[in-house]
Amino acid sequence: MLLKIPEILTKEQVKQAKEMLLQADWTDGNITAGYQSSQTKNNLQLPDSSETARILGDMILQALAKSNMFMSAALPLKIFPPLFNCYQGGQSFGTHIDNAIRQVPGTPVKVRTDISMTLFISEPEEYEGGELIMEDTYGSHKVKLPAGDLVIYPSTSLHRVTPVSKGRRIASFFWLQSMVASDEKRAILFDMDMAIQALRLKVQDSAEIVQLTGVYHNLLRQWANT
């Protein structure tokens, strides 16, 4: 399921993030690349030890926890702490697939990457190129969102970032392990949850809505792995 979630960060939070990231010390982006990815990855990244990354990562996680759409779509169990990258001067990331398992640095915690996420911090007009391209059975999907917006997509997807020919593209990227590993099942649950919420806005609670809510939770109970 490819889903765009607007305004995860407020304009004030985006401004704060930009100011901190423009002053941060960046390093080679291959510090988190696997062998296959390292062959096509050309960007800058904040190191794991970066205090800026920790502060902004906590801000992003707190914002995600307040997003009903994100929680409904992702059903998060474990989230890998947000990382930050920068593309400029023709840098790009060729077609690749994300590693299946990520170990949180400095801990024994391992995260199965069910969902990949990119949160845009630069505005689209601040750089040329830099589109996130996802490939699936329906073709290519190009994503370039306003600052503060998030896109989530299955970590099984082939994807790439096109060269940034002008300006600077700054974003946060991270992964999560969902309570429901199957993307198809998550999509069914998300559609059902959104429909139930829409019905509640149109009519008062009824026996039918209660029944649908029960079906949702019984499916989640059957499919969830916690």
Contact 192, 212 (CB under 8 A): yes
Q: Which helix (H) or strand (E) holds 146?
A: none
Residue 38: band (very low, low, confident or very high) from pLDDT cuts 50, 70, 90: low
pLDDT, tens only, 121-152:
999 999 999 999 999 888 899 999 999 999 99
Distance of alpha carbon 11 from the chain centroid: 19
Q: What is the pLDDT of residue 36?
A: 58
Instruction: List pLDDT tens digits, range 21-36.
Output: 999 999 987 766 555 5
Which strand (E) or helix (H) includes residue 103? Answer: strand 101-103
pLDDT (tens digit per residue) in 153-188: 999 999 999 999 999 999 999 999 999 999 999 999
pTM over 0.75: yes
3: nearest Cα among 203, 224, 157:
157
Res 150: pLDDT: 98
Task: Return the ∠ at Cα 178 (arms to 210 and 135), rounded to 5°.
Answer: 110
Distances from the Cα of 158 to the Cαs of 37, 94, 224, in angstroms?
A: 11, 10, 26
Rounded CA-CA distance 152/173 in Å is: 10
Q: Enter the tokens of residue 195.
A: 């429909």
Residue 70's nearest CA partner among 8, 12, 119 is 8
Report the alpha-carbon distance of residue 19 to residue 17 in Å, rounded: 6
Averaged pLDDT, 182-210: 93
Residue 205 has pLDDT above 70, yes or no: yes
Total length of the chain? 226
Domains along the chain? 3-178 (2.60.120.620), 183-223 (4.10.860)
Q: Which residue has the tokens 């991270």?
A: 174
pLDDT, position 122? 98
| 93 and 134 Cβ atoms separated by less than 8 Å | no
Q: Do residues 28 and 82 lie in contact, with contact meaning Cβ atoms separated by under 8 Å?
A: no
What pLDDT, on the 0 to 100 scale, is given for residue 221? 97
Whole-number pLDDT of residue 138 = 82
Q: How many CB atoms lie within 10 A of CB 175?
A: 24
- Tens of pLDDT, residue by residue over 66-118, are 999 999 999 999 999 999 999 999 999 999 999 999 999 999 999 999 999 99
Q: Give residue 33's pLDDT.
A: 55
Q: What is the mean pLDDT of the chain?
A: 94
